[in-house]
Amino acid sequence: MAEAAPGCATPPDVLVIGGGITGGTAAIALAEAGARVTVLDAGLPAGSAANAGSLHVQLQSRFLRLFPELAPNVEASLPLYVQAVREWEALARRLGGFDLVRAGGLMLAGSAAQMRFLEAKAAREAARGVAVELLDRAGLERIAPWAGPGIVGAELCRDEGKLDPLLANRRLAEHAAALGVVRLSGRAVALTADPAAILADGRRLAAGQILLAAAWGSGAMTASLGCPLPSRAEPLHMNITEPAAPAIGQLIQHAERPITLKQLGTGQIVIGGGWPALAAEPVPRVHPGSLLGNVALAGEIAPALGTLRVIRCWAGYNTTLDGRTALGRLPRAGRVIVAIPGDAGYTLGPLVGRAAAALALGTPPPFDVAPCDPARFWS
């Protein structure tokens, strides 16, 4: 017999598996439409709970280096990223703000060759509707006087931004609770076509529909329905400094070297950019080499950071798929909806979550979901 959520006389209308940014915002959209919603989450601080708060839009040089064969998928999705940042802004207005700033993003160049790379990249992005421009050193000085002497110019993407993910996650969770969304702690290991989720302890949770938003863990669960997804966990390392006077207004990346910088409203500076962490269960572990290399590179790009202390470092999992969002019903279990954002999943999460909720409700999603159909993996 299906197990009802605590306090519910019947199973919920929708069981959302995965309580990160995608599942959490999907649950909110469903509850606001009147659905009974239960969120099942493993409670691991490794995905959205470990996010650094970048709102990415432009093609990330790191992704182009690591996954060049998947770059066309991300490039085709660029209009979705622009829309996703607007979705974040709308959420912030509704829920009281997340320290969200959209002052643009800078991708720095340290050589003429890197500037040529940025020029070609910017042309591709502009063709997809992204607001970008190239800056020489003098133009960069006007908005980023902190840049080190080795930086010769940059690409500015005006659509990018940053936010405080701890604040955003907390406010979203509070709003979901106020709407009556029930949150259960547990881990699903398999799905059935009924639909139901089989938990690690053998329990069975059933619902009218299942919305699967479990990021890297989704592939193993859909495999039980004959529809495995190539979702993979990528362990990444991050650092944060003590507070400093406001200086870095934009989201910062580099044309060739693995780095992201962003300064929060608290004055603290988050340093990341794809440096590896150590894969471990249940959560990844920090990598001493990444700590040293990441911070040293940050000090080279922005020398003033050399006077700051790193007060915390942590690791989390990024989810890689094929560069595109996977969003839609499973062909062999039509009441199961998959929702895995493409690259930069925290950026895309609220928009993909709202679209997944629309599919469950039978209402028009906020964008064309046909290119996101997960059936591409089994056709």
C-beta neighbour count of 161 within 10 angstroms: 24
Percent of the chain with pLDDT over 70: 97
**Residue 369 CB contacts under 8 Å (≥ 6 apart), including other chains:** 327, 328, 355, 359
Sorted by where each begins, the domain ranges of the chain are: 101-162+232-320
**Residue 178 CB contacts under 8 Å (≥ 6 apart), including other chains:** none
Could you please state the CATH topology (level 3) that the domain comprising 101-162+232-320 is classified under.
D-Amino Acid Oxidase; Chain A, domain 2 (3.30.9)
Confidence of residue 4 (pLDDT cuts 50, 70, 90): very low
pLDDT higher than threshold 50 for residue 5: no
Residue-level pLDDT at 6: 40
Rg for the chain, CA atoms, rounded: 21
Q: Under a CB-based contact definition with an 8 Å cutoff, are residues 170 and 178 in contact?
A: no
146-201 pLDDT, tens per residue? Answer: 999 999 999 999 999 999 999 999 999 999 999 999 999 999 999 999 899 999 99
State whether residue 62 is helix, strand or coil.
helix
The residues that bridge with 37 in the sheet, in sequence order, are 14
DSSP one-letter code for 241: E
8-29 pLDDT, tens per residue? Answer: 445 569 999 999 999 999 999 9
The rounded Cα 209 to chain-centroid distance in angstroms is 24
Parallel, antiparallel, or unpaired: how do β-strands 209-212 and 232-241 relate?
unpaired
Q: Under a CB-based contact definition with an 8 Å cutoff, are residues 29 and 353 in contact?
A: yes
Residue-level pLDDT at 11: 56
216-243 pLDDT, tens per residue? Answer: 999 999 999 999 999 999 999 999 999 9
State the Cα–Cα distance between residues 195 and 336, nearest whole angstrom. 7
Segment 280-295 mean pLDDT:
94
